Amino acid sequence: MKYKVLVADDEYIIRRGIIKLLSKYSDLEVVAEAEDGEQAFEQAKDKEIDIFFVDINMPFMNGLQFIEKIKELQPNTIVNVITGYDKFEYVRQALRLGVFEYILKPLNENAFHETIDKILNAMKQKNEEEKYLRWAKAILGINKSNYISEFLDRSTLLQYSEEKVREEIDFLGLDLPEKYTMTLIYYERIENPDIRKHWNDKLLYASVENIAKESYESLAPLYLCKNNKGYLILICRTESKDMLDFINQEFKSVVERYLPAKVILAQQSDNNCYHIPKLYQDLLEKLEDIKCYPSIVKKTKQYIEESYYREELSLNDVAEYVNLSPQHLSRIFKKEMDITFIDYLTNVRIGKAIELFSDDALKMYEIAEKIGYSSQHYFSSVFKKVIGVSPIEYRNQRKELQRENFYGLS
C-alpha cells in the first residue's frame, strides 16, 4: 500500500528537492504539488491525501490557514510544516493545529529521513488502529444487543456519571430520538395443552423477541436486548400513551395466544438519553413489584377471608400485613382483581351472611355482628345495595324456595 502525498511550497527548488527525497521511499507516492495555499487546498479537495508537506509562508493562503481548513476536511491526515522561520509563534500555532512535524529550511537530508521514518511508523500504527476499529465495529454490530444490556446492568451497579453514560452511548452508536420509551418485558412460561410444540427457553425467548420486533416496528429506531435476569429490554421512539397502550396490548395478546407464556411489562418514557441508567433502574423495581402482585393479592384475599368478621378491619390493616402502603395495595388490588378493596370485603361479608341465613336460630342483628357490622340497619342497607333486596326478604324468599322444592311444588 502506498501513502499519497501532497507537497506545497512557493519555492520551486525546495518543492522539487522534497519530491526527490520522497521518491526514495516505495511506500510514498507524490500525487500532487502546489505553489500556494489555495492551489494546495483545491487539489486536496479532489484527492484523498494521507500526508502533507506544507510551507508556512505561501501567497494567497499561508500554510497555517491551509492547515486549519484541511483539518476540517480531513481531520486524521498527517500534516508537516516546512519553514525558514524558527519562530515560537509559528511553532505554537502549528502545534495547536495538530501538525505532526516542524521542518526547518534549508532541509537537512538526514533529519528529513528521520522525519519520514517517524511518519511511516505513525501511518503503520494508524492503519493498525483503523483495522482494529473496523474489527471492533463489526464485532459490536454482531453483539450490539449484548453490549447494550451489559452497559445498562453496569450503569446501575456502578452509578455512572452523565459523562460516562455519554461515552457509552457514543461507543454503542445508540441513535436515540429526542423522546424515547424503554420497556422491560418479563415472560413466564406456562403449561398450555393447546400448544403441542416442544418449547425450550431459547426458542421461547427468540419467539417473544420476534413478536416484539414486529409489534413495535413502527416506533423505530428500535433496540432490543436481554438482561441478566432474562428480561427483554426494548428502547424505541415515544408515541402517545393511547398508541403505546394499544401496541402493548397487541403484543401481549399475540404472545399469550400463540406461545406458552404470560407477559408482564413495565414501561416509561424520557426526553434525556443520559437518564437511561436511572430509567432502567426504576423499571427494574417497577417490574419486580408487578411480578409480586399475584402473591400480594392472594395474601390480601386470604387475610380478608380470615378477618372479615372484625368490624374495624380496614385497608390499612391489610396493607400493614402485606408490608405495603395502603395506596400501593389499593392500586395493586384494583388492577389485579378489577374491584376495589372495600367492594371485595363487602362481597365477602355478604356471602358469609347468606351462608348464615340457613341457621334459623340466628337473629338478623346476630348475623350482622358475625360478619363485621355492629348496626343491623347499616347491614341491611349494604345488603340491599349489593343483592337488590333486604336481608329479611332474601331470607324469606330462600325459605319459600326450599319449602317448594321439599314438597315438589315448583
Report helix angle 63-73 to 37-46, nearest 10: 20
pLDDT grade for 151, boundaries at 50, 70 and 90: confident
Residue 195 has pLDDT above 90, yes or no: no
Give the percent of the chain with pLDDT over 70.
Answer: 90
Residue 308 has pLDDT above 60, yes or no: yes
User: Torsion-angle region of residue 57: left (phi > 0), alpha (psi -120 to 50) or beta?
Assistant: beta
What fold, for 145-286?
A: Alpha-Beta Plaits (3.30.70)
Residue whose C-alpha is closest to residue 119's, from 50, 45, 64, 56: 50
User: Exposed, middle or buried: residue 274 (CB in 10 Å: 0-12, 13-18, 19+)?
Assistant: middle
Q: Which of 26-30, 73-77, 294-298, 332-336 has the highest mean pLDDT?
A: 26-30
Span 294-407 CATH architecture: Orthogonal Bundle (1.10)
Residue 233 has pLDDT above 60, yes or no: yes
What is the arrangement of strands in the sheet containing 232-237, beginning at the earlier edge strand?
223-226, 232-237, 180-189, 261-270
More confident residue, 398 or 312: 312
pLDDT at 410: 47
pLDDT at 218: 92
**Residues 244-265, mean pLDDT to the nearest whole number:** 90
What is d(CA 284, CA 18) in angstroms, rounded to the nearest whole number?
A: 65
pLDDT in tens, 338-349: 899 999 999 999
Residue 140 has pLDDT above 50, yes or no: no
> How open is the CA angle 301-332-185, to the nearest 5 degrees?
120
Residue 395 has pLDDT above 50, yes or no: yes
pLDDT in tens, 163-186: 888 888 887 888 888 899 999 999
pLDDT at 163: 87
**Residues 15-42, mean pLDDT to the nearest whole number:** 91
pLDDT at 261: 87
Residue 361 has pLDDT above 50, yes or no: yes
In terms of CATH, what superfamily is 3-125?
Response regulator (3.40.50.2300)
Mean pLDDT of the chain: 85
Residue 92 has pLDDT above 80, yes or no: no
**Residues 103-122, mean pLDDT to the nearest whole number:** 88
More confident residue, 137 or 311: 311
pLDDT at 404: 62
110-119, 127-136, 180-189: least confident range:
127-136
Phi, psi of 89 (to 5 degrees): -60, -40
Amino acid in position 302: Q
Are 145-286 and 294-407 equal in CATH topology?
Answer: no
Domain ranges of the chain: 3-125, 145-286, 294-407
pLDDT grade for 317, boundaries at 50, 70 and 90: very high
39-53, 182-196, 297-311: least confident range:
182-196
What is d(CA 334, CA 357) in angstroms, rounded to the nearest whole number?
A: 30
pLDDT at 384: 94
Q: Which of 89-93, 134-138, 373-377 has the highest mean pLDDT?
A: 373-377
pLDDT grade for 7, boundaries at 50, 70 and 90: very high
More confident residue, 317 or 105: 317
Residues 406 and 378: beta-carbon distance below 8 Å: no
Phi, psi of 204 (to 5 degrees): -65, -45
Termini Cα distance of the chain: 104
7-21, 111-125, 159-173: least confident range:
159-173
pLDDT in tens, 276-296: 999 999 999 888 888 878 888
**Residues 22-35, mean pLDDT to the nearest whole number:** 92
